[in-house]
Amino acid sequence: MAKILKNDRVVNAFTAQAELRRRRTSERVAAAFHESAHAIVAEAFGFPVAYVNIVPGDGFVGHCQLAITPDGGAFPIFGTPRALCYLAQTLAGAAAEYIRGTLPLDSLPASDVDCLIPVLLPMAANAGKPPREFYERIMSMTLELVSSPRMWSAIATLAELLLDRDSVDGEAVRQVLREEGIAVCTENEQIALAMMLAGKTSLRAR
């Protein structure tokens, strides 16, 4: 009986180690930071997160679901600072992966591109800038935002939660922000940030 129990403990130990290795594969860690960056920046900009996960699906390895989306009817029209902030949160995942060295700067996942293009093109036209120049400006500022110490700490904390749990709800994301002392942007702060992201265009809130 003692031998059986010992063998069971060995099997359980190996099983636990195998599970830990599965949860810490480079792909899962990259996905955790990618989705965490989307979620943290979204919440900081006032876009409520419904949930975020690193559960693989058809063509993606994770997902950050906003409670408010451009298709949801509650999203402001193109040309507002809030729409520019939406672009920054869309690019935040790729920015986090670039900072970690797991993704080239110009390599966006297809799912991010699908979210980016419908907003980026009309915004660039509204700002009177070529789409590429507009994209590079916003990506540059997004990199600065994501790499700031407090924001990066929040992203890393949420990534650890995802690696342990696979999926967390929006309240868990907001709890991380509270613990890191990151306040949600006010409308005026969104306007100021958007002006910076857009390179001091004439965009104003409506």
Ranges of each domain in the chain: 26-197
Quote the pLDDT of residue 77: 44
Beta-carbon neighbour count of residue 43 at 10 Å? Answer: 24
Helix, strand or coil, per DSSP, at residue 146: helix
Quote the pLDDT of residue 54: 95
Residues linked to residue 49 through DSSP beta bridges, in sequence order: 66
Q: Which two tokens stand for residue 151?
A: 């924001």
- Report angle CA 105, 108, 114 to the nearest 5 degrees: 150
43 contacts 173 by C-beta, under 8 angstroms = yes
Quote the pLDDT of residue 203: 32
Decide which of 10 and 74 is more confident: 10
- Report angle CA 55, 70, 205 to the nearest 5 degrees: 135
Pick the CATH number of 26-197 from 1.20.58.760, 1.10.1200.10, 3.30.70.360, 1.20.1420.20: 1.20.58.760
Quote the pLDDT of residue 150: 93
| Mean pLDDT calculated for residue range 108-123 | 85
Decide which of 201 and 107 is more confident: 107
45 contacts 52 by C-beta, under 8 angstroms = no
* Rounded distance between C-alpha atoms, residue 8 and residue 202, angstroms: 68
Average pLDDT, rounded, for the chain: 80
Decide which of 84 and 64 is more confident: 64
Q: Is the pLDDT of residue 202 over 60?
A: no
pLDDT band at 30 (very low <50, low <70, confident <90, very high): very high
Q: Is the pLDDT of residue 200 over 50?
A: no
| Mean pLDDT calculated for residue range 46-65 | 90
Decide which of 72 and 122 is more confident: 122
Decide which of 128 and 11 is more confident: 128
pTM: 0.79
